[in-house]
Every structure is written in C-alpha cells, then in structure tokens.
Amino acid sequence: MSLLVLMLLLFWECPTEASVPPVISFSPNWNPVVVDDSVTLTCNLDPNPEGEKRYSWYRDNRELSHYEKNYTIQHCSSNDRGNYQCQAGASEKSDAVRVDIGGPIVLQAPSTVREGDSLSLRCQSWSKDRFVYVQFYKDDTVMQPPGTGSVLQAGKALRSMTGTYRCAKLFDKHVTLTYSPKTFIYVTGAGIKPVVSINPEWGNILLMDSVTLSCNVEPTIQESPRYVWYKDGDWIREEQKNFTVKYAYEKDFGNYQCQIPGSERSESVRLDGKSGDFILQAPPTVHEGDLVYLRCHRSIKFLKSRLNTQKNITLHKDNEFITYSVTESPVLIGRADKNTSGTYKCTLVNEPRLSDELVISVTELFSDPYIKVNPGEVLKGDHMTITCDTKLSPHRETTKLQFAFYRNGHNVQGFSSSNQYGVPSAQLEHSGNYTCEVQTASERVRKMSNISHISIVARNQRVQNTVRLVLSAVIFIITLCLPFYHKKTMEVTYSQVTEKNR
C-alpha cells in the first residue's frame, strides 16, 4: 500500500510532457526582422526531453511542414510575418510569439522585455550604404546625443521604460534623416497575469447570441496596444483588448485565454452554448461574495413567434420554488456563499418542454489564511516578521485584499494592504496567540486564520534549552545502552562461572 502511495505522489509531483508548454526563443534575439535577414526560432521544453521528439510549428494557427526543434527563416519577407507557436511531441502549444518583418530601416528590440532585463536597442537597415550617425527616440523624445553605433545599451529595463520607440539614420550622400516605423516596447513585470471577463456575464448562451470578451490587467499596469488571444490553446486572429462574437456559432464555444506581451497566459474562461429556444444562464464562475444573477433566456426566433403571448417563467433551486417572472430580466439570487451552491431549473409555464437546468458551485474567493513567522525561532531582540498568507482564486487575481493582525484577541495592526506585521525588536511580552484576518476592500468576504502561538525566547534561555536538549540526548543514549551493557555483563559472568566449574 505504501509503495502505491509513493508511486502516486511521484506521478503527481513530476510534470508530464503534456503539462508543460514549450517556450519559443529567437536567435538573434531581435524583433522586428529586416527584410532579407534570417532568424531562427527554437522550441524549448523544460526539462529537456530525452530522446528524439517530433516538433510541430504553426504560423497564424496553420501547421507548417517542419518537424525539428529549430525553425530557421532564411531571407525573411512579408510572407513570413505572423504569430508562431510550436509543440513538442504531445505537449501543449507554446505561447504565440509575433515575428514582424520591416524595412528599409527598423528599430529592433528583444522579442520579450521583462523588468530587470538588460535592454538593448538596434537601428537596423537593409541598405549597405555608409551612415554618418544614428539617433534613438522614445515617445518622440531624443534619448541621447547622436552616435555612430547602431546599438544603444538602454540599461536595466524598468516598467517606466514601456513606450513607443523609433530610430533614424543619416546616410552618406543623404541630406535628411531616414526614420524607422514606431515600435511599441512593453516592459512586463514578474507575475503579471490578465483575467478574461465576459459581457454580458453569462457563461452559457444560445446560438446566434452576441457576447464580448475582455482581457483585463491590474489598473496599475500600463495598457498594451496589442493583446494575444487563444481559444482551446490555439492563437486566434484578435489583437484588441476587447473582441465581440456578434452571432455565436458552435465553433465559437470553448476555453478562452489572453495575454499581453511577456505576461503569463490568463486562466481559461469557458464559453458554453446550445441550440434551441430556451436556456438558463449563469455567470461563468461564481465566487464567494458575488451578487448572483440568473436569467431565463429565450431565443429571438421564439420571441418573434409569440409576440402576443405572455409567458410566465418559474425558477427553482433543488426542486424548491424561488420566484417567477414574465420578463427575461436577470433574477437576483443573493450574495454568494456556500448555501448558494445547488441545482437550478427554469421552466416556461404552459410549455414544460421549454425548461433548462444547471448546477452552480460557489468557488472560494481566497483560501483560508494562515500565519508564518520569520525567523522560525524568535530570540529576544530579533526583528520578527509575521506574514498572513492566502491565495486568490486564479479567476480573481486582481482582487484587492486587506489584512489585520491580532495578539491574544487584541488588534495590533488594523486593516491595510500589507500582509505583514513587523516587530523591530521582539521582547518577551510580544509572545502570545496570534491570528490574522483577511477581507476584501468591500468587506463582503472575511476570513480568520487559526491561532498560532509564538514564543519569544530569551537568549540565555536558548542556551539553557540547548544544554537540556544535549543532556536529554545523553540520558536517552545511556538508557538505551544500559540493557545492552547489562546483557553483555551477564553473558561474560555466566561464561566465567561455566569455565570455572569445568
């Protein structure tokens, strides 16, 4: 049984090939690429797979006839422009990377720029004519005096360096500067992960309904001029923050994700649908504290066929009547908690064939908080930091939380955005039972941690404890060895007596 458990744990911990998407890298790492230059894309899978793998490459979601790890584009032309993905064996598809082709002069930067990276810019042209000098611009402002080098070392990338860049060259025998097109460089920070929302906020719709999907990032993050969208892991031809499905068909149903340049992909949000004339609609996800609305929705075709007929709609939960309505207006169920979960059914009175039901499961907005203390053993005079740890639902990672701390039931730090409580010089009186509380900014969802007892140890007491520990260990070893020593002694004595008697 224990061997089976061990095998299951190993299987759970070890990432499988299918669970780790590969990452595409550029060589040389410049984008856009100048016409007639070459670039190699590499499909990197971590950890590196053992043995031979079949690789698949896609441009704008069309499979290319190339099955090796490296894909080289020789003598780039406008036909090579597009969004590339790769796949290693049975892995997921990689994030899409865009290859732009430009000329006669382009401002180049690394394909992805993350905060803290060393940022280099290059002013590249296809002309072999000698140039007199190069000038770089950010947001139409000169970055530094003109120079003769095509590469500018801009330093460590900061979020504030996000912006529109271009360059210009003065070629020999020319009297005016030749400018590159503007290139937007987005410096992304660690851990940025957008969230997909749906409007109207229904996770299930009827065929021919209209719906808008949006890619949302935290308000403190600068908006990107380009977004990348995926459906069921495949890149789709949408580059705006919002896109609308005007008349939904079955091909539009699936799992949607988005990202901005350099960010993680969002969690997937599923858009479901069905044919027919009647559907019970609910939000794609329901979290603690949400106001839950349901709608009994009829198709346009059905409404047109019964213009002069008034139809009452009944709504039940777990076979118990909730309410009825004569319109399609959303019905407020209440603010979500664990009691909101259940099976809901909508029926059109006098037409029982027109009914629909769905199961709603309320997801926790954030996990139960718990306390961590650093250092693990706090000595008198140490700087003590207590952290209140929790994790937001992946679909609500932009939710703002507030934290408060208590010792022996008394508040020691009121609600704030900081999840840490610090004591610069811990004293014995700082010992006690600590708890922390987490709430949303609206105070609609609140959770308290379990009690964590923290003892501040005097430094001489630590020495005493160490001595006690050593003495206890010695006594334990002696106690353990005494029976063995006694047994050996008895064996020797018995042997001597036996020998003497002979």
In angstroms, the CA 271 to CA 276 distance is 17
pTM for the complete prediction? 0.76
Residues paired with residue 108 on neighbouring β-strands, in sequence order: 122
Q: Tell me the two tokens of residue 321.
A: 């009547």
pLDDT averaged per 10 residues in sequence order, the chain, 502 residues: 41 47 94 94 81 87 95 95 93 94 92 91 87 92 88 92 92 86 86 89 93 88 86 94 94 95 89 90 94 90 66 88 84 93 90 84 96 93 96 89 97 97 95 97 95 89 61 73 60 54 54
Question: Tell me, what's the pLDDT at 221?
Answer: 73
Are the CB atoms for 156 and 119 separated by under 8 Å? yes
Are the CB atoms for 67 and 54 separated by under 8 Å? yes
CA–CA distances in Å: residue 199 to residues 196, 214, 313: 10, 8, 23
In angstroms, the CA 24 to CA 28 distance is 13
Burial of 322 (C-beta count, 10 Å sphere; 0-12/13-18/19+): middle
Residue-level length of the chain: 502
Residues paired with residue 152 on neighbouring β-strands, in sequence order: 121
Question: Tell me, what's the pLDDT at 454?
Answer: 96
Picking from 189, 251, 256, 255, the residue whose alpha carbon sits closest to that of residue 229 is 256
